[in-house]
Structure 1
């Protein structure tokens, strides 16, 4: 069973993140998607689910028994944004993870609050508020940290379980992110990319650096009651091999590409987001006897946009303010 645990490369942050650490899904949680109201705050919840199959085929070796594992990774993100100014925004994600590993030789469940993320975004430009323009676009870039608050030393039968199955990584990691949206009348394209630079935890273990990117085409449909945004595109994720000290770990790292379809619904201050992903390409770093396959994923989220009303200044306050300007 020790060997099958070593090949379980599944864990997510992906739609996107969402549960396979070797394919970068832990970073997937940085995904925010198409957010048309840049000057408002928001608060929301997002549920993501992914599953993977892993197996070891010893090719009828009489000394070893074939092993397999079917694993499901669920994630609930508490997420929000606070707009400091027209250009500066602070985004945060606090995940709650529920991992189920069901193997031929072992079954393990793990749940708890994971590693939260905090990012500061800077909006380089945004022409979305210029309704008279046929072309509208916006670009935001940001950076931040992932804090090591989740459990990362969970054990089963006296032995530490697979690192990818842990709730946290135990390391302080650094994040880079960008989000670009281009729209011509009702048609548009959204591109989002992220990179996570991982550090070692207290045990000297370091997850491979991870990156992901997505590109979606969308069409803006408006009705008197709701705005509908159907979308379709691709999502790609990649991760380097893990290191235990200076030793590269077998069966870690790899890449995957998913086809994505979804829809966003906007009604007043509410934004409902649904995504469904199907794997198109998978290339995991595995030994010859090991196979790993990612299954379909889905994500659903609900956000509430709001803003604080500015207090009206009294005439005396206005005079004082003018003197200091």
Structure 2
């Protein structure tokens, strides 16, 4: 995409427009999602893909199609009331715009999280045939700057939009997490909320703090030796404004509200999961960027 906004730093204003490409969400988004069934530990691999389309509202000839791909190893270990999880992604992005095609790939940022179960309660109905389990987990984590970030702000062709296509943010970030589970017989509702507190990286770029909320209903059916677990739910992502050298990046805040549908197949200790996101409402970069599609598929081994 051509340079859309002029580089003009104005004194005594709180927001400033930079030369930048409007583009899809950065390749460092993070959501836990629905966890696999495990009593002690699990390890797995999951792939996520997303497509964003951007088009300048006052000049349709300037456009960008951004394709983000994440290949992630993740795992968890639980002992008593403590649950520890780790995530390590490899990220790939392709930007196809009126300026041509730009590709970027590399190791992403490592995330380590720990949750503590502060509440759990079992309840059985009067006939003693149905059991309901209600539990709440609270925790936090840290995201380390292990990912590749090759943005050079001193280069003549530096574009502030380049930060969004890097595998790593270059910053140490902190996560605060809450998960609530209501489980009854073969059904349940899992709700997760995560707040990510971002810091400023060495290039003086600060990704806005982010809120992730998701809630999913699932039901399990036994088909011979396979457990089939369809699920439906909703997902909400909101990011506050990005900041570069102390100045707000105009239009960089926004939100996406999506419906989720998917299915998990459980073969003993082995699980296969897939889901897709359908955007219901969104506003990114003043409605100049739209999420077109997003999906995830994964494989887990649990005990």
User: Partner of 2:63 in structure 1?
Assistant: 68
Residue 311 (structure 1) aligns with: none
3-state DSSP of counterpart to 2:80:
coil
- 4+ long deviations beyond 4 Å: 126-133, 155-158
Asked if 2 retains the 8 angstrom alpha-carbon contact of 1:150 and 1:168, the reply is yes
1:305 aligns with 2:302: yes
Q: Which residue number corresponds to residue 101 of structure 2?
A: 107
Please identify the structure whose Cα radius of gyration is greater: 1
Distance 1:127 1:43, change over 3 A: farther
> How large is the Cα RMSD of the aligned pairs?
2.3
Q: In the alignment, is the contact (CA less than 8 A) between 2:263 and 2:273 conserved in 1? A: yes
2:133 aligned partner: 136
CA deviation after TM superposition for structure 1 residue 184, in Å: 2.3
Give the secondary-structure state (helix, strand or coil) at the position aligned to 2:288. Answer: strand
Higher strand share: 2
More helix, by proportion: 1
Alpha-carbon distance in 1 for matches of 2:3, 2:123: 57
Q: Is the 8 A contact 2:181 2:188 kept in 1?
A: yes
**TM-aligned CA distance change 1:179 to 1:12, over 3 Å:** farther
Matches of 1:40 and 1:151, distance apart in 2: 33
Give SS of 1:163's match: helix
Shift in CA distance, 205/154, structure 1 to aligned 2, threshold 3 Å: closer
Give the structure-2-normalised TM-score.
0.86
Deviations 1:23-57 (A, max 9, x none): xxx132xx1414332x3111100000000111114
Please say which of residues 234-243 and 214-223 is displaced more in the overlay: 214-223
Q: Structure 2, unaligned stretches of length 5 or more?
A: 6-19
User: Is 1:292 the counterpart of 2:289 in the alignment?
Assistant: yes
**For each residue in 1:60-90, what CA deviation from the matched residue of structure 2 results, as whole angstroms up to 9, or x when unmatched?**
xxxxx8311111100011001122x211122
1:2 counterpart residue number? 3
TM-score between both structures, scaled by the size of structure 1: 0.80
